[in-house]
Amino acid sequence: MEQLEKLENQSIFIIREAYRQFRSVAMLWSIGKDSTALLWLIRKAFYGRIPFPIMHLDTTYKFKEIYEFRDKYAKEWGLDLLVYKNEKAIEDEVGPSKRKFECCTELKTNALKEAILKNKFKAIYLGIRRDEHGIRAKERFFSPRDEDFEWNYKEQPPELWDQFKSKAKNEEHIRVHPLLGWRELDIWEYIKKENIPIAGLYFAKDGKRYRSIGCQTCCEPVDSSADTIDKIIEELKTTTVSERSGRAQDKESAYTMQKLRSLGYM
Amino acid sequence: MKKRVIIIGLDGVPYELIRDLSEKGIMPNVTKLLSRSSFRKMRSSIPEVSCVAWSSIITGKNPAEHGIFGFTDLCANSYKLRFPDFNDLKSRPFWENSLVKSVVINVPSTYPARPMNGIHISGFVSIEIKKSVYPSTLVPVLESIDYRLDVDSDKAHKSMDLFLEDLEKALGARIKTYEYLWDKIDWEIFMLVFTETDRLMHFLWNAYLDTEHKYHQDFLKCFKKIDNVIGDILSKIKESDSLIMLSDHGFEKLECDVYINWLLKENTFLDWTVGEEAGLENINSSTKAFALDPARIYVNTNVRFPRGSIKDWDKDKVLRDLESLFTGLTINGRKVIKSICRKEQIYSGPYLEVGPDLILLGNTGFNLRASLQSQGITGKGIFTGKHTQDNGFLILADAGGEINIPEYPSVCDFTSIINGLNN
Amino acid sequence: MNSQLKFIIVGSVDHGKSTLIGRLLFDTHSISADKVDEMLKTAKKLGRSTAFAYLLDHLEEERRQEVTIDTTQVFFKTDKREYMIIDAPGHVEFVKNMVTGATQAEVAILIIDAEEGIKEQTRRHAYLLSLLGFNQIIVVINKMDLVGFKQDRFLEVQKEADAFLGFLNIKPLFYIPISAAEGDNVVEKSKKMSWYKGKIFLESLEVLKERKSLEDKPLIFPVQDVYRIDDKRIVVGRIAAGSINRDEEIKILPSGQLTKLKSIEKFGQDNVKSSSVGESVGITTCDPVFLDRGDVISSSKYPPHITDTFTADIFWLVKEDFNKTERLTLRCATQEIACEIQSIRERIDSSTLRVIEENADVLKYIEVGRVQIKTKKPIIVECFNDIEELGRFVLVRKENTCAGGIISGLAIS
């Protein structure tokens, strides 16, 4: 079996396992390429009749194209779309320019908390991948979060073969990661193979394109001339920039740390 | 005639050293300047580190307002360290607050540089030259004079000779940059910070104290060069110009390092999972408190930290226990801790919550460090000098002579002083 | 697309797993260009002699910060195929993670420090690999630079390892002397060990096979769930062995009912005629039979075994002891059922393989038990060596997995 088929079948298996285990579930759709691919897989798993809501956490700092894309396909695919905003934080003018510290926590995490508590979801599907960012390499397919939404990555339950963490206790929810084993390139090849619609921001305009899409204010496009999926795949195969370089400050840390250490400041 | 202000920063230089080198004739131009100036001892920030102190100097705000509490900070809801930079500064530096055209060179904690009315070259910790300079057209010029963002302090750990060589190059390039930019634009504020002084004092404070020391002359040489710059400036400025010199904190002899996290561990405030290496990410839920450098202590509360176990109503008790632990701490019969500050006593502002709960200041000679890797409570490394909080300096040669400056100013008073001059 | 081989590197802490991973990534140029570039630059700035040394520091730093993208699961590729490395933490505290990692891998690499030789954790990992049914193992003897690249020492360690592994019925495919730190015999052939004529590490990986497909076996299709879509009842699951064909006669277990397959359902595809092992599919049947999760659909001619009693090796993964009087939940494929452990015939120290006790009443953290299990009702199982998916199971206590198990024998009723 080809690698993409393996990944697809594995993901559908996980999607169905989680729904069977928890029933009261929802999927988090950021409208980015990963979660749109996940949505596609979920549509396949349930024969186009997704039996749970698709949730969008709206920070109000998203790109305009994202909203248009969301509304178009929510209608076309008959999604039960739930949009969540942390109204209070937005009112308090929490935002990247003003209070960068709290922006992500308030607008994303707290909105999710509120949505889960309100709807009593036991599990949430997310489109994260292991190769995407450092800490995610430690995620499991089913990752429990405690009542404070904290992830105890030191004390994770074992996940043997395809036997995943079972029912959530009342006070916790489970994050389900069907795309964990996919890589960025796999996602694009799948998008191409399945002809999955994708937001236009990923394609190069004026020599720049987005490799990942978070909030408009915290994302920077990378230099690229890839304006078709084929070109993106080609670019990735010969890639010179790691995916989140648009967002990442990580790479400068080692240097800073060394400088601080050499002066005894750390 | 426009009133111009020239600000010369000497990172880490204590009040007493300025007086001493002036009296000894090592810094004759400073002596000249002092004869027409107010000369004050100045209080640094708490903690007394450059990033916090300079952030206060350029904004006039305390850490709970400007948001910079140290070279490192914690990611929200986490034990993961992050390195705050200029983008994390929550208040505007003075050069962004007015339409005054400024040249700002090498102020610590202003990386990455951003657009402003004038020229900006950021200081420690600057990573890439391209992101350290505004406008970017200046990059090739700086490269052509071999501009150094900082002295390569790694070299001191290998060879003091190589370090001094590097320091001389960095200082030389900094001076060339000043010379080049002085007439480049029609500025009203010109701010130049020398950080070489701090680097030198960390490694060679003993060479300052000991006139027989192999590197005593090298130590003085750096200050002589800076004095020449002062002389050059004095010859260039007009009567209507004001000149300020200042440091962000003082320095003194380092007797020994004292490791706060080791102490916390020994006294069961801090613990990590058995078998794990010592690291903040590995601390477990029995931890009551831990420290970040240099001596910022955080109570491991359940509202703030992922494995926090201290409930809100128990926090005060933990703070009191910590205070009594530190109050009683002696080494070789000497009290180690000079003062223990609760954040509410020394800070106020919207970011108070994210600040450390307790900040310690050491008594003379005791260099407080967080360190999780130490093998005992004390240690002594390569460093012979350490920062002090109470004896930075401020020299003000005010053209109008009308400004009242406090008897014992603090770094937070600086912006109101220059505002007074500009009006 | 190329195939991908997943392998795990196990062994004692500090025997050089990260160094080996770093070396593989570095020498196969598998780190993205900007990362290498950045490393070279930073290494230069920091005055490190080689970028590789810097890379290792970098991995170490990430490990310290728990952002171990490069040490938990990493990808690299050669001209021949792609690889995914699953890094298993060497510390005893992490046996649980090691087992989790190993169950996702197809091939295992056991790393042994040439200077230190076999340690407690080396033995435990090897034992767990044997329990998990690994038949493809490569042993690398690392840090040859510390023993002067001497053949004598290599042979000594090999002999010791061979004796131990032989006892576990593991026959390693290769023993390879390497120095991950210096790059000898990993991707480049060593000039310092001309006495070694065998395959170097990367070559040895290239000849390994992916886990063999169970396509030729009789059909096993554990039912995951049943969906009602319009007027259809679609039975979904993933094919565990064999293949499924339209109009084929199938048997439903445990009821034993026979029916015919009416259609294979895949979203967006009409008229699917057949599907085979590994595919997540849905089916409809000709007769309106009642089916639910836990049922197993099989070929009518060669159905798997049904029994309520079998023997197994289980490894206890949690710190709270197991007591024989407890009832646990057993999960095997999609079946979930209460069970009791009738006897713990042997309680075994997973490091020394010593039998601690016969006919024991308890099983403790990271011990292995040779046990007899009785389920509340008959279930569909096979020996692990025949059909893996029906021969492996987990035991669950209070909704947490506390043990993994491999079926070694069935009581035929």
Closest chain B residue to the Cα of A150, Cα to Cα: B306
Structure confidence at residue A98 (pLDDT): 46
Question: Does A133 contact C at CB distance below 8 Å?
Answer: yes
Asked if B118 and B103 touch (Cβ cutoff 8 Å), the reply is: yes
- From the candidates C65, C94, C95, which should be mutated to test the interface with B, based on the most B CB atoms within 10 A? C65
Using an 8 Å CB-CB cutoff, list chain C residues near B276: 93
Q: Chain C interface, mutation test: which of A160, A174, A251, A259, most C Cβ atoms within 10 Å?
A: A160
- Give the CA distances from residue C251 to residues A219, C257, C294, in Å, rounded to whole numbers and listed in that order: 55, 6, 14
Q: Can the peptide bond before residue B140 be classed as cis, meaning omega within 30 degrees of 0? A: no
Closest-CA distance of chain C to residue B80, Å: 7
Once rounded to an integer, what is the mean pLDDT over residues A45-69?
A: 86
pLDDT at C352: 76
pLDDT in tens, A103-129: 445 566 677 878 888 898 999 999 988
Residues C361-372, mean pLDDT to the nearest whole number: 93
Q: Which amino acid is at B76?
A: A
Q: Give residue C160's pLDDT band: very low, low, confident or very high (50, 70, 90).
A: very high
Which residues of A are less than 8 Å from C1 in CB distance?
Answer: 2-4, 189
Average pLDDT for A228-244: 69
**pLDDT score at B325:** 96
User: B87–A100: do the CB atoms touch at under 8 Å?
Assistant: yes
Rounded-to-integer distance, Cα C123 and Cα C93, Å: 15
Q: What is the spatial distance between Cα B385 and Cα C25, in angstroms, rounded to a whole number? A: 43
Tell me the residues of C at the B interface, defined by beta carbons under 8 Å apart.
46-47, 64-67, 91-93
What residues of chain A lie within 8 A of the CB of C103, using their CB?
159-161
For B125, name the nearest residue in chain A, comparing CA atoms only: A256
Task: Check if A228 contacts B (Cβ < 8 Å).
Answer: no
Contact list in A for residue C68 (CB cut-off 8 A) is: 134, 137-138
**Residue A170 forms contact with C (CB below 8 Å):** no
Find out whether B289 and B79 touch, Cβ atoms under 8 Å.
no
C-alpha to C-alpha distance for C396 and C230, rounded to whole angstroms: 36
Does C93 contact B81 at a Cβ distance shorter than 8 Å?
no
C69 pLDDT band, cuts 50/70/90, is very low
pLDDT at C56: 60
pLDDT (0 to 100) of residue B41: 97
Cβ <8 Å between A245 and C34? yes
Residue given tokens 């109050």 in the structure block: B327
List helix spans (H) across C147-261.
151-167, 201-206
In a mutational test of the C interface, the residue from A20, A21, A163 whose CB has the highest number of chain C CBs within 10 Å is A163
Q: What is the pLDDT of residues C167-183, one digit of tens each?
A: 888 889 999 999 988 88
Q: Which of B154, B273, B281 sits opposite C66 (nearest CB)?
A: B281
Calpha distance B354→C47 (Å, rounded)? 36
**Model confidence at A57, in pLDDT bands (50, 70, 90)?**
confident
Per DSSP (E only), the strands in C317-412 are 322-323, 327-332, 335-349, 355-360, 362-363, 367-381, 392-397, 400-410
Cβ <8 Å between B281 and C46: no
Q: To the nearest whole angstrom, how far is the Cα of C65 from the nearest Cα of chain B?
A: 7
Mean pLDDT (chain C) is 85
Asked if residue A157 has a cis previous peptide bond (ω within 30° of 0), the answer is no
Q: In the predicted model, what is the mean pLDDT of residues A21-41?
A: 93
Identify the pLDDT of residue C224.
Answer: 96
pLDDT of residue C65: 43
Is the distance from CB of C85 to CB of C18 less than 8 angstroms? no
Instruction: Say yes or no for a CB contact (<8 Å) between C100 and A9.
Output: no
Subunits that touch chain C (at least 3 Cβ pairs < 8 angstroms)? A, B
The secondary structure of residue B407, as a DSSP letter, is: S
List of long-range contacts for C149-158, beta carbons under 8 Å, 24+ apart:
C149/C177, C149/C179, C149/C184, C149/C190, C149/C192, C149/C193, C151/C177, C151/C193, C151/C195, C151/C196, C153/C114, C154/C114, C154/C196, C156/C117, C157/C112, C157/C114, C157/C117, C157/C118
Residue C44: predicted pLDDT: 60
Output the tens digit of pLDDT for each of chain B's 423 residues: 568 999 999 999 999 999 999 999 999 999 999 999 999 999 999 999 999 999 999 999 999 999 999 999 998 778 888 899 998 898 889 998 777 899 999 999 999 998 888 999 999 999 989 899 988 889 989 999 999 999 999 889 888 999 999 999 999 999 999 999 999 999 999 999 999 999 999 999 999 999 999 999 999 999 999 999 999 999 999 989 999 999 999 999 999 999 999 999 999 999 887 666 667 878 888 999 999 999 999 999 988 888 888 988 899 999 999 999 999 999 999 999 999 999 999 999 888 989 999 999 999 999 999 988 888 899 888 999 999 999 999 999 987 767 788 999 999 999 999 888 866
Q: Which of the four pLDDT bands, split at 50, 70 and 90, describes residue C40?
A: low
| More confident: B266 or C89 | B266
CA distance B48 to B11: 12
Task: Give strand pairing partners of C401.
Answer: C396
Q: Are residues B214 and B282 in the same domain?
A: no
Give the domain extent around B321. Answer: 256-379
**What is the number of structural domains in chain B?**
2
* Residue of C47, C64, C91 with shortest CB distance to B279: C64
- On chain A, the residues whose CB falls within 8 A of the CB of C57 are 254
- Phi, psi (deg, nearest 5) at residue C35: -70, -45
Subunits with 3+ C-beta pairs closer than 8 A to B:
A, C
**What chain A residue is nearest to C60 in terms of C-alpha separation?**
A254
Domain identity same for B401 and B299: no
**CB pairs below 8 Å between A and C: how many?**
137
Please determine, for residue C64, whether its predicted confidence score (pLDDT) is greater than 60.
Answer: no
- Nearest Cα of chain B lies from the Cα of A263 at a distance, in angstroms, of 7
CA A143 distance to own-chain centroid: 14
Q: Same domain, yes or no, for B141 and B211?
A: yes
Cα nearest neighbour of C92 on chain B: B275
Using CB atoms, pick whichever of C47, C65, C91 lies closest to residue B281: C65
Question: Do residue B128 and residue B238 come from a single domain?
Answer: yes
Mean pLDDT (whole number) for C330-335: 96
- Residue C94: the pLDDT is 65
Token reading at B40 = 């004050």
CATH number of A2-183+251-262: 3.40.50.620
pLDDT the model gives residue C66: 38
Q: Provide the pLDDT for residue A246.
A: 43
Residue of A nearest to B163 (CA): A262
Residue B385 with chain A: CB contacts under 8 Å: none
User: One-letter amino acid identity for B259?
Assistant: Y
* Residue B267 and residue B239 share a domain: no
Closest CA in chain B for residue C90:
B275
CB–CB of C399 and A167 under 8 A? yes
Q: Does the CB of A257 have a partner CB in chain B at under 8 Å?
A: yes
* Contact flag A47-C267 (C-beta cutoff 8 Å): yes
- Partner residue opposite C280 with nearest CB, options A12, A169, A189: A12
Q: Quick one: tokens of B356?
A: 């450390």
Q: Which of B140, B268, B265, B251 is nearest to B202 (CA)?
A: B251
Mean of pLDDT values over C32-42: 60
**Which pLDDT belongs to residue C413?**
52
Residue C58 has pLDDT above 70, yes or no: no
B240 & B283 share domain: no
Same domain flag for B105 and B209: yes
Residues B159 and B129 in one domain: yes
User: Number of CB pairs < 8 Å for A and B?
Assistant: 58
R_g of chain C computed on alpha carbons? 24
Distance CA C286, CA C23 (A): 57
Cβ of A13 within 8 Å of Cβ of C238? The answer is: yes
Q: Tell me, what's the pLDDT at A247? A: 40
Could you tell me which residues come within 8 angstroms of residue B245 by beta carbon, excluding any fewer than 6 positions away? B7, B8, B9, B10, B30, B33, B230, B393, B394, B395
ipTM reported for the complex, 2 dp = 0.83
Domain ranges of chain A: 2-183+251-262, 197-249
For chain A, the average pLDDT equals 78
- The reply to whether residue B81 touches residue C66, judged by beta carbons under 8 angstroms, is no
Q: Which of B82, B202, B307 sits opposite A264 (nearest CB)?
A: B202
> Between the CA of residue B385 and those of A263, B42, B209, B376, what are the distances in Å?
11, 19, 10, 21
CB contact under 8 Å between C69 and A131, yes or no, is yes
Residue bearing the bigger pLDDT, C94 or A134: C94
Residue with tokens 């393996």: A6
Q: What ranges in B300-364 are assigned the alpha helix state H? A: 312-327, 343-346
CB contact under 8 A, C93 and B154: no
The C-alpha atoms of residue A78 and residue A255 are separated, in whole angstroms, by: 50
